[in-house]
Amino acid sequence: MRYEAVTIRDIAQALGLSTSTVSRALRDSHEISTETKRRVLEHARSINYQPNPIAVSLRERKSRSIGIIVSEIANRFFSEIINGVESVAIDRGYNVIIAQSLESAERELRQIQFLTSRSIDGLLVSVSNETEDTSLFKELHQKGLPIVFFDRVVQDIDTHKVIVDNTLGAFDATVHLIRKGYRRIALVTNVEGLSITKEREAGYRAAMHKHGIPVDDALIRHTRPGGQAEPEAAAIMSSLMGQEDRPDAIFATSDRLTTGCLRYLKKHNIQIPDEMALIGFSNSEITELLDPPLSIVRQPAFEMGTTAIQMLLELIESKRPVTQFRTQVLAAEHVFRQSTQSRDTERVKLR
Amino acid sequence: MRYEAVTIRDIAQALGLSTSTVSRALRDSHEISTETKRRVLEHARSINYQPNPIAVSLRERKSRSIGIIVSEIANRFFSEIINGVESVAIDRGYNVIIAQSLESAERELRQIQFLTSRSIDGLLVSVSNETEDTSLFKELHQKGLPIVFFDRVVQDIDTHKVIVDNTLGAFDATVHLIRKGYRRIALVTNVEGLSITKEREAGYRAAMHKHGIPVDDALIRHTRPGGQAEPEAAAIMSSLMGQEDRPDAIFATSDRLTTGCLRYLKKHNIQIPDEMALIGFSNSEITELLDPPLSIVRQPAFEMGTTAIQMLLELIESKRPVTQFRTQVLAAEHVFRQSTQSRDTERVKLR
DNA sequence: GCTAAATTCGGGAACGTTTGCGTAAATAAA
DNA sequence: TTTATTTACGCAAACGTTCCCGAATTTAGC
């Protein structure tokens, strides 16, 4: 099953030139006469010449492709990021190789090794929730592989990063709940070690403090490393509902956790927001169609993707080693809907 | 920014062997003594040797990577397919390069050219809804590039294909509506030229005929090529609601169309299913959380992905040209929920 | 003990490209 | 006219593999 290839040599022979001349002509070198260039270009397109990227990669020692690893592409948040990454990568002539860890540290390792063995020029990373050992990333970074972290970053590796303002995002969401009259606000959040978890928890705590509400640690729940979000969310909800002093609101900090909580509440016929308010991080486009329409914290995923790839290309295409790194922080958006209406007056008004 | 590489030559020099011997030892050739093999393997892993896939690709004239193009990866249906494709590709040592057409024929063309110029070994294709000119696919296919079509296939290219039983899937959904007492069933469907559109429309018509309900062509609406599904759905809904003899049920034939219709109905405060029933193709995992819980036709996307990649690898790894092609047909699943309850008795029972 | 065969290895070309270097011819400077 | 410089091109090496072919050594056959 071969797929015939027309090479630079074919052009050279057809025109009685050497391969080096043809190569230079195609790259518009100044040491080739305009007449020769014209002939080469013309003949090249007449036989539909396509340079062999593999040969170029071998020679140039770079592949013009970058890798991106996320926890799962079926998650709208990540697929939007990928869209952002792709949109600029394509324009810059880079190929994007997508990999997913599915929240498994082992799979993450394998995928990273796979990507790097494919000689990618750079790597975009959002770590899995199970990742503890970051030595591979450190090693790659030290060896000079350009890496940009996004969303879930690893703190102690000094490179470009792009995140959303998780602290403020969580702060504002919590304040919103407080203003709506909720007091016992449960935080259903990710694995404890994750950067995003810490930041969002910090925002939550700050909001509670600011409004003089004591933080009840029994209301702060993390998922377990490697666990799947939906069942984890259900287990946490079940535990929360089982305790004597139930929460009156839930703040879930990821897409899957949010839908997991919602599914639990509906399954157990717990009225939202009358018995329990719900707000969560989500990038789903149909949260307004849910029952009830969901209040959400939305992350600018596409933009996160474009800035991450831009930073990466900056590293890749830099002539000399970059030593000054920056962390770009994007703002989260909030959409408040019925799932966090206060129980009394306001909801009536809305109908 | 280089990333040091340890080559086969390093091993050869360290052990006082030739590169050819090392290469053969690594590939476990029979013409290398077990002792030499042992030394090579041992030293190779001690210095963490990784074969350069680019050099291998150049030499072998294949890249061990395949391309897949879908309309958009942020669509759950497609991301599930990609998951399926990836899951087997990884195990077989293949790399998956993902591209999206965003329903633009021009972008599709560019992406395909990009993929093929990256010397992929094979291509997985679901065409954009704007695609009319399939000559590129024909050309590639004729040149010997292994291609497998899935979901939206092109009819007149003879190669492996994998689809769901769209006709039966649509038939069953329509029958369900009829049984629930609906008679003026509108079909909100994709671009007319698409294979899936024709099949689903056929299923719809067959169901209507079987139950002796005359088909009103005014109730069959297609989106326009290149159009984005959500606004298209809204426009169609608006037109349907404007006509004198309104439908009493909507059957939408894609993920985005379904949510588009739902969004319209909710926005205009049309009660589902009392004023209008709704069923649609969807692979979203939260349709049961919608208001009302949505009846859906669900496609086995993951399985579609795995079978498509298996078929492709079969073509790629075949020793001699394959001439016998087959079309694998998977069954669609149905989940009937409140959005298609009949108006009277049954719904009361459910509460 | 001599030929034949098997075993084990090295030399070197090839994959398709880019690029340093060399060198004719053409042009400019002297 | 002679020399220096520019222009325009070719040669060949290199990127890291794989594999054809040949050759040296060992083993088998009789």
CB contact under 8 A, A2 and B100: no
The three-state (H, E, C) secondary structure of B271-329, written as one string: CCCCCCEEEEECCCCCHHHECCCCEEEECCHHHHHHHHHHHHHHHHHCCCCCCCCCEEE
Q: Can you say whether the dihedral through the CA atoms of A227, A233, A239, A240 is positive or negative?
A: positive
Q: Is the CB of B245 under 7 A from strand C?
A: no
Residue A57 lies in a domain: no
> What is the distance in angstroms measured between the alpha-carbon CA of B93 and the sugar C1' of C15?
21
Whole-number Å distance between alpha carbons of B19 and B150 = 44
Question: What does pLDDT average to over chain B?
Answer: 91
CB < 8 Å & 24+ apart, contacts of A211-220: A211/A175, A211/A178, A213/A178, A213/A183, A213/A185, A216/A184, A216/A245, A218/A243, A218/A245, A219/A184, A219/A185, A219/A186, A219/A187, A219/A247, A220/A186, A220/A187, A220/A189
Assess whether B103 and B202 both reside in one domain: no
- What is the predicted pLDDT for the residue at A62? 86
Please count the residues of chain B. Answer: 351
Assess whether B70 and B136 both reside in one domain: yes
CB contact under 8 A, A289 and B285: no
- The closest alpha carbon to A347, from A181, A172, A185, belongs to A181
B282 in Cβ contact with B310 (< 8 Å): no
Using alpha carbons, list the distances in angstroms from residue A19 to A92, B300, B307: 27, 51, 44
Total structural domains in chain B?
3
Tell me if chain B has a CB within 8 Å of the CB of A54. yes
- Place B344 in a pLDDT band, splitting at 50, 70 and 90: low
Tokens at residue A104, please?
Answer: 């498994």
3-class DSSP assignment, residue A285: coil
Question: Of all residues in chain B, what percent carry a pLDDT higher than 70?
Answer: 96
Q: Is the CB of B18 under 7 A from strand C?
A: yes
- What is the predicted pLDDT for the residue at A344? 57
A87 in Cβ contact with A96 (< 8 Å): no
Assess whether A264 and A312 both reside in one domain: no
Assess whether A138 and A159 both reside in one domain: yes
Assess whether A120 and A152 both reside in one domain: yes
pLDDT digits (tens), chain A, 351 positions: 345 678 999 999 999 999 999 999 999 989 899 999 999 999 999 988 988 989 999 998 888 889 999 998 889 999 999 999 999 998 888 888 888 898 999 989 988 987 887 778 999 999 999 999 999 999 999 888 999 999 999 999 999 999 999 999 999 999 999 999 999 999 999 999 899 999 999 999 999 999 999 999 999 999 998 888 889 999 999 999 998 889 999 999 999 999 999 999 999 999 998 999 999 999 999 999 998 899 999 999 999 999 999 999 999 988 778 889 999 999 999 999 999 987 654 444 443
Residue B56 lies in a domain: no
Residue A242 lies in a domain: yes
Whole-number Å distance between alpha carbons of B43 and B31 = 19
- What is the predicted pLDDT for the residue at B113? 83
Q: Return residues 188-227 of B near A (CB < 8 Å).
A: none
Residue B311 lies in a domain: yes
Assess whether B171 and B251 both reside in one domain: yes
A337 in Cβ contact with A290 (< 8 Å): no
Assess whether B172 and B292 both reside in one domain: yes
If one counts every other C-beta atom within 10 angstroms of the C-beta of residue B267, the result is 12
> Which nucleotides of strand D lie within 7 A of protein CB?
7-12, 14-20
Bridge partners, A67 (sequence order): A97, A123
Q: Can you say whether the dihedral through the CA atoms of B98, B99, B103, B105 is positive or negative?
A: negative
Whole-number Å distance between alpha carbons of B70 and B150 = 9
To the nearest 10°, the Cα dihedral for A309, A314, A315, A316?
80
Residue A3 lies in a domain: no
- What is the predicted pLDDT for the residue at A319? 76
- Host domain of residue A73: 63-163+301-330
Tell me if chain B has a CB within 8 Å of the CB of A82. yes
Cα distance from A317 to chain B (closest Cα, Å)? 8
CB contact under 8 A, A117 and B83: no
Residue A2 lies in a domain: no
What's A206's domain CATH number? 3.40.50.2300
Whole-number Å distance between alpha carbons of A47 and B37 = 46
- What is the predicted pLDDT for the residue at B343? 63
Q: Quick check: B152 pLDDT over 50? A: yes
Work out the average pLDDT over B242-266. 93
Report residue B24 CA to chain centroid gap.
Answer: 40
Assess whether A323 and A282 both reside in one domain: no
Q: Can you say whether the dihedral through the CA atoms of A314, A317, A318, A321 is positive or negative?
A: positive
Assess whether A120 and A34 both reside in one domain: no
Q: Quick check: B117 pLDDT over 80? A: no
Residue of chain B whose Cα is closest to the Cα of A72: B83
If one counts every other C-beta atom within 10 angstroms of the C-beta of residue B23, the result is 17
Residue B144 lies in a domain: yes
Residue B2 lies in a domain: no
Q: Is the CB of B51 under 7 A from strand D?
A: yes
Assess whether B113 and B207 both reside in one domain: no
Q: What would the pLDDT profile of B190-206 be if each residue is shown by its tens digit?
A: 999 899 999 999 999 99
Assess whether A132 and A208 both reside in one domain: no
Q: Which residue has the tokens 């995992």?
A: B285
Type of residue found at A239: S
To the nearest 10°, the Cα dihedral for A294, A299, A303, A307?
-170
Work out the average pLDDT over B17-38. 92
3-class DSSP assignment, residue B173: helix
- The closest alpha carbon to A292, from A257, A335, A339, belongs to A339
Using alpha carbons, list the distances in angstroms from residue A127 to A105, A159, A169, A258, B41: 8, 15, 20, 20, 32
- The closest alpha carbon to A194, from A231, A252, A154, belongs to A154
- Place B350 in a pLDDT band, splitting at 50, 70 and 90: very low
Tell me if chain A has a CB within 8 Å of the CB of B82. yes
Assess whether B281 and B176 both reside in one domain: yes
Whole-number Å distance between alpha carbons of B348 and B351 = 5
The three-state (H, E, C) secondary structure of B180-208, written as one string: CCCCCEEEEECCCCCHHHHHHHHHHHHHH
Q: What would the pLDDT profile of A153-212 be if each residue is shown by its tens digit?
A: 999 999 999 999 999 999 999 999 999 999 999 999 999 989 999 999 999 999 999 999
User: Which has more pLDDT, A330 or B119?
Assistant: A330
Using alpha carbons, list the distances in angstroms from residue A287 to A294, A300, B267, B287, B335: 5, 16, 14, 11, 21
Q: Is the CB of A7 under 7 A from strand D?
A: no
Cα distance from A221 to chain B (closest Cα, Å)? 23
Q: Return residues 12-51 of B near A (CB < 8 Å).
A: 50-51
Q: Is the CB of A13 under 7 A from strand D?
A: no
Tell me if chain B has a CB within 8 Å of the CB of A112. no
Whole-number Å distance between alpha carbons of A101 and A99 = 7
Nearest-CB residue to B291 (from A55, A65, A290): A290
